[in-house]
Amino acid sequence: MLDGDHPPNNNSTNGFNVTDLFSPLLAGDLSLANRIVMAPLTRSRAGADGVPTEIMAEHYAQRASVGLIISEGTFQSLPGKAFDGQPGLVTPAQLAGWRKVTDAVHAEGGLIVAQVMHAGRATHPDISGFPVEAPSALAIDGETRAGGTKVAYPLPRALETDELPEIVETFVRSSQNAVDAGFDGVELHAANGYLLHEFLGTTSNMRTDAYGGTPENRIRFVVEVVRAVVAQLGAGRVGLRISPERNIQGLIEDDPVDVEAVYGGLMDALAPLGLAFVSVLHPEPAGALVQGLRSRFGGPFLVNTGFAEPTTRGEAVAMMAGSLTDAVVVGRAVIANPDLVRRWREELEENELDFSTLYAEGTVGYTDYPTYDDTKARAAS
Ligand SMILES: Cc1cc2nc3c(=O)[nH]c(=O)nc-3n(C[C@H](O)[C@H](O)[C@H](O)COP(=O)(O)O)c2cc1C
């Protein structure tokens, strides 16, 4: 047989085809059984005190067959709380609540990291009980919900330069708290217009100190947070989420040159650290921006194509087959299908998502989506 019949197999690690959605992936210290990652999904089911509830343990455990669960965005300090019903990683009661969640996921053989976030300007004192803090005193032109009513986003207070080290510390403490509560690691949330993202963008950051102005200055705070959390937990348990060009919550990134400089510079700064992963939310995974960021980061890279349409099996399989990503981050399909991995592996039909119950109270639309077997058993009886 000619050597030409056996091209170097660049698509294989440990005997598995890495373009297969159902093959394992090693991401830092995280050993994923498959490449379907549950996206961070805010569902507002925690108590008013930010304590995770029993139904959250059930909800996450039901979805433990994904390669990795990324928890809903979880506040790292009380002023950083973004939504009513959001869980926190601050108080002993919150950590005890999370321990039930992580134990339940692990009992089902799953892996779970906490998405750690600070709301920045995208919150309200009626939600957090604190004045709103951000890189600059620039309000979002829009509304959020507090106590069931719509409220305008307030003008935030610009954080002083000498306050920033304490904010870094809150990320370190809450990340350590996450691991103490049984999480397998953390995903630092630098996407979707919250505090870390706000430092990156020109429409949310007009600082004149070393944290504003040039792309190099605007990435400084995110890099400091990542480095500090890595120093605490080890790089293999730390990931980062970004959403370049997301254009949300008044954070507009419409200058491609600046976007390339900011996010490319960020990837260059993070590359030597050996992070578990970078997760990117962007509608064009095959585009030059995303693939350029991937090669500059050089480590495990996760992709989600954003909100326009829910991620489908076909899209996920195609992204893997095209070697566009190391794993696919999936949101709405995992909400509606607790056994999504099986359904996608066996090409089974899927449940429809009920949008009306996304942020509802209690178990409806949360723990009551049936598995494929549940549906078949019901139909047979
Ligand atoms: C109900 C809901 C809540 C979300 N909450 C978060 C969140 O807490 N943190 C985050 O980074 N993204 C959040 N997202 C974005 C998702 O992680 C994901 O990027 C988005 O759903 C698009 O993926 P999909 O098409 O597979 O659903 C949320 C999306 C939805 C639909």
Residue 21 CA, distance from chain mean position: 19
C-alpha dist (Å) from residue 191 to 110, 208, 356? 25, 23, 25
Residue 246 CA, distance from chain mean position: 14
Dump pLDDT digits (tens) for 112-137: 999 999 999 999 999 999 999 999 99
Residue 8 has what pLDDT?
37
Tell which phi-psi region holds residue 29, choosing left (phi > 0), alpha (psi between -120 and 50) or beta: alpha
Residue 291 neighbours by CB under 8 Å, 6+ apart: 285, 324
How many Å is the Cα radius of gyration of the chain?
20
For helices 54-62 and 92-107, what crossing angle results, to 10°? 30
- The closest residue, in CA terms, to atom 14 on ligand 1 is 41
Q: Could you confirm whether 194 is annotated as catalytic? A: yes
Residue 19 has what pLDDT?
81
Regarding the beta carbon of 132 and ligand 1, being less than 6 Å apart is answered no
Query: Pick from 203, 204, 240, 242: which is nearest to 225 by CA?
Result: 240
Between CA 119 and CA 220, with CA 255 as vertex, the angle to 5 degrees is: 50
Residues 194, 211, 369, 372: which is the catalytic one? 194
- The closest residue, in CA terms, to atom 31 on ligand 1 is 332
Dump pLDDT digits (tens) for 185-236: 999 999 999 999 999 999 999 999 999 999 999 999 999 999 999 999 999 9
Q: Which residue stretches of the chain are H helix?
A: 54-62, 92-107, 125-128, 164-180, 195-200, 215-233, 256-270, 288-297, 313-321, 332-336, 340-346, 372-380
- The closest residue, in CA terms, to atom 6 on ligand 1 is 41
Query: Pick from 179, 35, 61: which is nearest to 114 by CA?
Result: 179
Q: Which residues pair with 13 in a beta bridge?
A: 16
Q: Which residue stretches of 63-163 are H helix?
A: 92-107, 125-128
**pLDDT higher than threshold 60 for residue 323:** yes
Dump pLDDT digits (tens) for 239-260: 999 999 999 999 999 999 999 9
**pLDDT higher than threshold 80 for residue 178:** yes
Regarding the beta carbon of 71 and ligand 1, being less than 6 Å apart is answered no
User: pLDDT category, 381, cuts 50, 70, 90?
Assistant: confident
Q: State which ligand 1 atom lies nearest to the alpha carbon of 309.
A: 25
The two beta strands, 149-152 and 133-134, are unpaired
Regarding the beta carbon of 238 and ligand 1, being less than 6 Å apart is answered no
Regarding the beta carbon of 189 and ligand 1, being less than 6 Å apart is answered yes
Q: Which domains, ranges and CATH numbers included, belong to the chain?
A: 29-380 (3.20.20.70)
Dump pLDDT digits (tens) for 11-42: 444 456 768 999 999 999 999 999 999 999 99
**pLDDT higher than threshold 90 for residue 151:** yes
- Of 332, 350, 358, the residue with max ligand 1 atoms within 8 A of its CB, to mutate for a pocket test, comes to 332
